[in-house]
Amino acid sequence: MGTTSAPGGGGVVGLGIVGLGVISRQYLDTLAGHPGVRVAAVTDLDRSRAEAVAAELPGARVAADLDALVADDDVSVVLDLTTPGVHAHVAATCAAAGVDRYGEKPLAADLAASFEAMAAATAAGTRVGCAPDTVLGTGVQTARDAVAQGRIGTPTSAVATWVSPGHEAWHPHPDFYYAPGGGPLLDMGPYYLTSLVQILGPVVWVQGAASTSRDERTIGSGPRAGERVPVQVATHVTGVLGHASGALSTVTVSFDAVGSHARPIEVHGTEGSLVVPDPNRFDGDVELTSLGSAGWEVLPASAGFEGAGRGIGLLEMVGAVGLGDAPASPRAGGDVGLHVMEVMTGLLASADDGGRVAMTTSPAVPPLVPLTAAATWRGVPDVAGAA
């Protein structure tokens, strides 16, 4: 396996990537050329796609398949960008090979597979990271810092809203969004729920409701335009989360709405209210209003990775962001990913039977990310004009 130390600990981490679809470009924008990691090998079901990506990365090889990828002596961490239904298989393969894994959300397509993925990694002594890492940017981290500093008093509640008419209008292959492991909750919910856990702490119970507006969706673009996709999941989910802190969060995610004026996340407390920017982004304005204030103020960034992009969670996991050696528990870690999966599946189970569902997981909230300049986490010289 490739070395697991990185800048701050010396050496370069060997990275293998499985799955080179649409999202891979955003990860490569962050990881390719970073001094702390080197993409050693890539693989994809479409070999031509893997060959095209490898050609862009000096020294990168095309692995025949996942087994060959994890067997590569230069690979110590696998970046899993496959679709949700494949995550459990990738997780098991990485654990069996003794290779760390950082994957796209959700952790796996269902709760049982998510528990199995974490258990396999624990038994193997490997680490698991899980998107979203957008919560490590200045948006969510600054909001979290403001709440921790008492700027809204005692937190009492939060409201999170994301709605869309569905991804089939723009995505040429939207099938997995409407298959088990997909839907608005498992697709977009992790951004909002992970943010709420970061800001208000773990969830102890949930109660939800859900609906499905139609049995199929029509692809609107690409070579399959006009083709119909069966809908196998709830396309509108809403619910209440009871946090261990006593705060209550109300969440709505939907593929059944055209648009909304609602703020992505609002957090309320006894002394003030806070607007959290879009958790699908790394930055954005955090706004605060307090008792007796004349209105809303934009808070300066006080925490988080500045200018971050997808892949910052993997870099943090391997100790390549200038904050010291690789941590025992990544800030975008599998324990939080497992908890968020339990919250999501709990909402769906509650929607089915109408009852309240208690959570069995309760992860420690990861440490706040100190305000970290882009030049620092990118590993470039800290000189005037560095970006």
Walk across the sheet containing 248-254 and list its strands: 297-299, 286-290, 272-276, 265-269, 155-163, 248-254, 236-243, 203-211, 357-358
Which of 21-25, 138-142, 278-282, 306-310 bottoms out in mean pLDDT, i.e. has the lowest? 21-25
CA distance 85 to 87: 6
Domains of the chain with bracketed CATH:
13-130 (3.40.50.720), 134-306+335-358 (3.30.360.10)
CA distance 265 to 275: 6
Q: Alpha carbon of 368 to those of 133, 298, 311, 319, 364: distances in Å?
A: 13, 20, 18, 15, 12
Banded pLDDT at 80 (limits 50, 70, 90): very high
Percent of the residues in the chain that have a pLDDT greater than 90, as a whole number: 92
Taking residues 20-37, what's their average pLDDT? 96
Residue 5 has pLDDT above 80, yes or no: no
CA distance 116 to 227: 35
Residue 385 has pLDDT above 70, yes or no: no
**Residue 101, beta-bridge partner list:** 78, 128
pLDDT at 381: 59
DSSP-derived secondary structure letter, 326: P
- Burial profile 291-325: b = 16 or more Cβ within 10 angstroms, e = fewer: eeeeeeeebebbbbbbbbbbbbbbbbbbbbbbbee
Taking residues 187-198, what's their average pLDDT? 97
Token pair 């969830």 is at which residue?
A: 203
Residue 22 has pLDDT above 50, yes or no: yes
